[in-house]
Structure 1
């Protein structure tokens, strides 16, 4: 994702190695169970004790009160309390978040994000991670707040690494929808801004990377020429405004690859006028170079064929003289 996503290139961790699927009962037991190992056998013990001492009303009452308390301390009966209406475990989502969150800040930051992508077996710089950030509605690159992570997992119906990974095909398919892609496209601009710096425009290099990334599934024919134009920076382009970013999507949909239906009279950003002029000039030069190459090839062909013709004419002349001599 943007500036920091290129740092993780070799996700080798096994999927689900930090899935957050482990039970919380053992943690609760060690923290709250004062008797250490003696409580482990307690859930089954009260039942046998109850049958053997039913004749003693006092003992039976003690057992009845004690039985539900021990599993509650161990977390065994609390699982259902953390399930939402769709069957997701809020406890698992919170535990998964805690696996990667920063020690100082209540958020997953760059280092945790790299480990998260490693364990998901995805490259942080690939399109799937951008789509995941979109579904999580992340406000900043290389960062998931607790709220973004929890709400994002609920949105995609996943409470483990395995669950998140299994949702990728559906998320990619969803991103292909016209309205969904428009939303993803506009999200990407905001996602690329440095919120802490109060940026209002994307740095040129970041914009180029994000344009190439967001169009991964459906690449416009004109995209590479547009990116070449920005990279060559013919008019001192430093940043890309929100209006330019948003209008480029309209440009790819409305203007054909040959640019023949582009009109400066329409309400396009001035940068597009400059691009069209630059592109048409480049195409003109390329056509001229191609024509010159053809002319050169034709001259070479004629030059190569000329000696053969002269030789045949000379040999024919000599043959006539010889015949006449006889």
Structure 2
């Protein structure tokens, strides 16, 4: 940032007072008698910025010019005169940070600005930390921060710089692990994934899968991957994820054990969950059957490798070797 200092001579010195002007107007010269009796003349027209005095021996003193520097506003610390709160949070810095990433035509940080913002934070736009940050900012739409969301969000996390936001990530991740906080984050994620401009009321299947995997980054339920596989393999039966289905899945992960033995269709679960449990139990049954077949095939041996009956009898009579497992 360019800075400059303007220096100028004071155009009006203390010698240029109104009384001084009157006196100099009535007399062009004044007589000064020295100790030696000499008479000297002092020119009243001498520059007022220079102070000249007479020594007792009649010699002229050194002329001194005093220059008063004028410091421009650019030289001042931009935050020195600004009022900061108890934690040193600066609203001016937050506004300037927002302005650095905002769109040229819209008063918001859009996709391009978000990419630069994440790059400066050294985070991937698709990682959990960015989701948590969006949650603290209460962002209404993915890939967008309005001015209000950004300013209020920075105030909420007590940060007014890139370095400050980065330093807050560990605390934010820890905060998200709290039971009530995570429930709030989980419900926020559904709304965050909707396209507000399109007026969406349910999540697209692919977006829902990605958001489920993202929001459960820190604490992944055992059933999650099987649930996501079910959604991915049944595109015709799953067109979108409603808010009720999204919220109820969180309850499902807490109430139903990984073996699904305590799931009951008589309870008020969404019908999609009934279909999933049926699909999952059938998948596990096939998996067990496949495992048994593999085990049986692994236990058999080719005829050329198996010992003959005569040999078994011979070896058995010798008692030198036991053929377990045949």
TM-score w.r.t. structure 1 length?
Answer: 0.74
Q: Is the 8 A contact 1:82 1:91 kept in 2?
A: no
* Aligned position for 2:34: none
Query: Post-superposition shift, 1:233?
Result: 1.1
* Aligned position for 1:157: 158
* Aligned position for 1:190: 191
Q: Is the 8 A contact 2:203 2:242 kept in 1?
A: yes
Deviation per CA, 1:14-58: give whole Å up to 9, x if none.
xxxxxxxxx8xx6xx8xxxxxxx4xx246xx89xx69x9566678
Cα RMSD of the aligned pairs, angstroms, is 3.0
Residues 1:284 and 1:162: Cα distance change in structure 2 (over 3 Å): same
Name the CA distance, whole Å, in 2 between partners of 1:179 and 1:149. Answer: 24
Query: Which segment is superposed worse, 229-238 or 127-136?
Result: 229-238
Query: Post-superposition shift, 1:236?
Result: 1.9
Query: Which segment is superposed worse, 99-108 or 80-89?
Result: 80-89
Residues 1:234 and 1:164: Cα distance change in structure 2 (over 3 Å): closer
Q: Secondary structure at the match of 1:169?
A: helix
**Unmatched 5+ residue regions in structure 2?**
19-67, 317-326
* Aligned position for 1:258: 259
Task: Map 1:1-326; keep pairs closer than 5 Å.
Answer: 37=4, 40-41=5-6, 53=13, 76=77, 79-84=80-85, 86-233=87-234, 236-298=237-299, 300-301=300-301, 303=303, 306-311=306-311, 313=313
Query: Post-superposition shift, 1:294?
Result: 2.0
Name the CA distance, whole Å, in 2 between partners of 1:80 and 1:135. Answer: 29
**Unmatched 5+ residue regions in structure 1?**
1-22, 30-36, 59-66, 317-326
Q: Secondary structure at the match of 1:210?
A: helix
Larger radius of gyration: 2
Deviation per CA, 1:291-324: give whole Å up to 9, x if none.
12222223x14856643434455899xxxxxxxx
Higher fraction of strand: 2
Q: Is the 8 A contact 2:139 2:145 kept in 1?
A: yes
Q: Is the 8 A contact 2:6 2:72 kept in 1?
A: no
Q: Is the 8 A contact 1:138 1:144 kept in 2?
A: yes
* Aligned position for 2:21: none
Residues 1:175 and 1:311: Cα distance change in structure 2 (over 3 Å): same
Deviation per CA, 1:101-137: give whole Å up to 9, x if none.
0000000000000000001111111100000000000
TM-score w.r.t. structure 2 length?
Answer: 0.74
Q: Is the 8 A contact 1:72 1:78 kept in 2?
A: no
Name the CA distance, whole Å, in 2 between partners of 1:141 and 1:84. Answer: 31
Query: Which segment is superposed worse, 288-297 or 242-251?
Result: 288-297
Query: Post-superposition shift, 1:290?
Result: 1.1
Residues 1:169 and 1:247: Cα distance change in structure 2 (over 3 Å): same
Aligned residues: 267
Name the CA distance, whole Å, in 2 between partners of 1:243 and 1:189. Answer: 10
Name the CA distance, whole Å, in 1 between partners of 2:195 and 2:303. Answer: 63
Query: Which structure has more RCO (C-alpha within 8 Å, separation ≥ 6)?
Result: 1
Higher fraction of helix: 1
Q: Secondary structure at the match of 2:142?
A: coil
Name the CA distance, whole Å, in 1 between partners of 2:143 and 2:280. Answer: 35
Residues 1:308 and 1:178: Cα distance change in structure 2 (over 3 Å): same
Residues 1:235 and 1:310: Cα distance change in structure 2 (over 3 Å): farther
Q: Is the 8 A contact 1:71 1:77 kept in 2?
A: no
Q: Is the 8 A contact 2:6 2:71 kept in 1?
A: no
Name the CA distance, whole Å, in 2 between partners of 1:103 and 1:121. Answer: 23
Name the CA distance, whole Å, in 2 between partners of 1:139 and 1:175. Answer: 18
